[in-house]
Amino acid sequence: MKKNIYDLSVMETLQQAGIAGTPQRLAVLKILQNAAQPLSVGVIREKLETKTRINKVTVYRIISLFKKQGLIRDVLS
């Protein structure tokens, strides 16, 4: 499978944060990067369902890892 330039930049972002680039992590990060506003885990899962099947717990773990590594942060509503 060929990777486009956008996929490479997503992979590089994960690598720079010290995170392995699994397909699930790449998919979540792409969704977050394309978002115009903060997204809830529920919305992220809805967007993922159209592309890939992913467990809710896995999404929470990915979000937690991204926060721990400084890729994302919580937004208070």
Pick the CATH number of 5-68 from 2.60.120.1310, 1.10.10.10, 1.10.287.110, 1.10.1660.10: 1.10.10.10
Q: Where are the domains of the chain?
A: 5-68
Q: What is the pTM of this model?
A: 0.84
Q: How would you write the pLDDT of the chain (77 residues) with one tens digit per residue?
A: 445 445 568 899 999 899 999 999 999 999 999 999 999 999 999 999 877 788 899 999 999 999 999 999 998 87
Q: What is the DSSP string of 24-55?
A: HHHHHHHHHHH-SS---HHHHHHHHHTT----
> What φ, ψ does residue 21 adopt, rounded to 5°?
-90, 75
CA–CA separation, 36 and 64 (whole Å): 21
Residue with tokens 């369902």: 49
pLDDT score of 5: 42
